[in-house]
Amino acid sequence: MLLEKSFDASNAVLNAAPPADDAAARLLRHVLKVWAREQGVTEAEVPAFIDGVLNYATTSILDGRYGRAGA
């Protein structure tokens, strides 16, 4: 499960390109891709959209975990 993984900057859940064996990261990227397409995001913009969402989530998690203010 995602929350059970220890924090590591190289953690595949937080990276844009997860390794092939990280099913949770692949599933998250797939869900974001489907949602983006349903919202009218063009195919060319989908990768940047996914990276932006994952970056925002990573920043939010780190801010909450380490008490950093402002992202």
pTM: 0.55
Measured CA to CA, the distance from residue 54 to residue 13 in angstroms comes to: 9
The pLDDT of residue 60 is: 86
| SS3 (DSSP) at 1 | coil
CA dihedral for 12, 47, 20, 3, sign (positive or negative) = positive
67 against 44, higher pLDDT: 44
Question: How many helices and strands in the chain, by DSSP H and E?
Answer: 2, 0
Decide if pLDDT at 1 tops 90: no
Measured CA to CA, the distance from residue 14 to residue 3 in angstroms comes to: 12
HSE at residue 41, side-chain half, CA atoms within 13 A, is: 17
